[in-house]
Amino acid sequence: MNKENIALPVSTTKTKVVRRKKKNLLTPWLFLLPSIVVLGTFLVIPIVEAFHWSLLDYKIIAGTGEFVGLANFKEIFTDTSFWLALWNTILFLIIVLPLNIFLPMILAVLVNQAIKGVSTFRILYYLPVVTPMVVAALMWKMLYSQSGPVSSIFVSLGLFDNPTNLLVQSSTALVAVSAITVWKGLGYYMIIYLAGLQSISKDVYESAEIDGANAFQKFWRITVPMLTPSVTLVSVMTIIAGMKVFEEIALTTGGGPAGATTTLVMYIYNKFMSLDVSIASAAGVVLLLLAIGASLLQMKLTSSREEDLRA
């Protein structure tokens, strides 16, 4: 994975490169040119523009706007639907995070065994990952419909008296949407855990067996603690991806009922659709700050992990 390399500017190539350096000042830029043109035009310029728009009263149709300072930020911070969206995003993460940490871990332990057929199960568990999100969202929308299978199962289990579509009840909609996200990510996080599991030495389990530990004890006392680095990685990835959750909501509930599934990204999307692009940009800046916060957390957690390993 080599994530650590992000933070380290590489200087190891210096000595050997130096002697060619003078005559080839332009060469590295020729290599970089196509990407700089594309990313500069379609990524850097729009990002800078978005920051600019967040300080304007921008009208996308007229293509102009006046400078309004931080008025857009003031507006979103006094908008209850913005706070609801932020709360829904947090709630979504509170639901998804523990499930993403534990369910794929169990899957990884299961498919890490030396028994027949595990490779087939790995493939079957990975299928949702390679499904386009639009398809996953529509499949689950169908499964959730009032006379669909999820509702029938819930009624036969006695959880509901009458057939109910979980997506249209404001009390269950966010949980129902979260289930789609978790379902789609199971196989992906399973692979992350599998890489972690394969780095645990077999000797640890063998000595535990000699001491008479059962499978359950081995899982809780050895596997879970040894997987801490993977848990950190899965958590941070879940948080970063969860903050951007969009398709599974846009295509199932559209943010409803009554804003119950309107997350931060849905809020931005809705503002854009109603052409309040400056408000959308300001909310986007807030989203970016949260994303940067999560990434810094990731760097801090992974670097403290390195220190632990060195000590």
Partner 1 sequence: MKRKQTTQKIMLYLLMIFISVITVGPFLITLFMALKSPGESIYGTIYPTDPTLSNFTDSFSKANFGLYFLNTFIVTAIAIPLNLLFCSLAAYPLARMDFRGRGVVLSLIIATMMVPFQLYMAPLFQLAGELGLRNSYIGLVVMQVATAFGIYLMRQAYLRIPKELEESAYLDGANRFQVWYRVALPLVKPTLVTLAIFTFMGTWGDYLWPLLNSTESSMYTLSIGLAQLSQNFDGSNLKLISAASILTTIPTLILFMALQKYFISGATDGAVKG
The encoded tokens of residue 68 equal 């309004």
What's the closest the beta carbon of residue 106 comes to partner 1, in angstroms?
A: 8
Binding residue for partner 1 (CB under 8 A) from 70, 142, 159, 258? 142
Interaction residues for partner 1, span 72-101 (CB under 8 A) = none
Q: Does 303 bind partner 1 (CB under 8 A)?
A: no
Q: Does 268 bind partner 1 (CB under 8 A)?
A: yes
What's the closest the beta carbon of residue 211 comes to partner 1, in angstroms?
A: 19
* Among 42, 65, 94, 70, CA closest to 285: 70
Residue 290 · residue 241 · CB < 8 Å: no
What's the closest the beta carbon of residue 73 comes to partner 1, in angstroms?
A: 14
The size of the chain, in residues, is 311
The encoded tokens of residue 194 equal 């599998």
Residue among 116 and 310 whose Cβ is closer to partner 1: 116
What's the closest the beta carbon of residue 304 comes to partner 1, in angstroms?
A: 18
Residue among 174 and 283 whose Cβ is closer to partner 1: 283
Contact map string, positions 31 to 70, toward partner 1, x by CB under 8 A: xx-xxx-xx-xxxxxxx-xx--x------x--x-------
Which residues lie closer than 8 Å to 306 by C-beta, 6 or more apart? 4
What's the closest the beta carbon of residue 198 comes to partner 1, in angstroms?
A: 11
Angle between helices 80-111 and 228-243 (to 10 degrees): 140
- The dihedrals phi and psi of 195, each to the nearest 5 degrees, come to -60, -40
Binding residue for partner 1 (CB under 8 A) from 72, 140, 197, 255? 140
What's the closest the beta carbon of residue 122 comes to partner 1, in angstroms?
A: 8
Kindly list the distances between the CA atom of residue 278 and the CA atoms of 71, 78, 244, 249, 250, in Å, as whole numbers in the listed order.
10, 15, 19, 23, 21
Interaction residues for partner 1, span 194-253 (CB under 8 A) = 195, 233, 236-237, 240-241, 243-244, 246-247, 250-251
Q: Does 107 bind partner 1 (CB under 8 A)?
A: yes
Angle between helices 118-130 and 80-111 (to 10 degrees): 160
AA letter at 23: K
Give the Cα separation of 224 and 54 in Å (integer). Answer: 44
Residue 161 · residue 201 · CB < 8 Å: no
The encoded tokens of residue 222 equal 């050895």
What's the closest the beta carbon of residue 159 comes to partner 1, in angstroms?
A: 17
Residue among 95 and 144 whose Cβ is closer to partner 1: 144
Binding residue for partner 1 (CB under 8 A) from 17, 70, 159, 258? 17
